[in-house]
Amino acid sequence: MGIGKVELILIIILVIIVLFFGAKKLPELARGVGQSVKELKNGFKDGPTDADKAEAEKKETAATTTDKKS
């Protein structure tokens, strides 16, 4: 049982990341990615906001008024 292709690729990617960013920056990068994922999940869970709904309604109203003028 040796290392498979996927594991080898992941190890190579990890080594490149460590060389590129440095070991001290990795926890900071991981924290930022984690916060981004958390915000994205909350955004999907909450659904569209009132501002998003108002903007969509405004666009719809503008589209219907231009259709009536034609």
- Residue 19: inside a domain: yes
Q: How many domains does the chain have?
A: 1
Position 49 scores a pLDDT of: 67
Position 18 scores a pLDDT of: 85
Distance CA 30, CA 53 (A): 33
Cβ atoms of 29 and 21 within 8 Å: the answer is yes
- Residue 70: inside a domain: no
- Residue 41: inside a domain: yes
Q: What is the pLDDT of residues 22-31, one digit of tens each?
A: 888 888 888 9
Average pLDDT of the residues of the chain: 81
Q: What is the pLDDT of residues 30-47, one digit of tens each?
A: 899 999 999 989 888 877
pTM of whole model > 0.75?
no
Domain interval for residue 14? 5-65
Distance CA 43, CA 22 (A): 31
Q: What is the pLDDT of residues 10-26, one digit of tens each?
A: 999 988 988 888 888 88
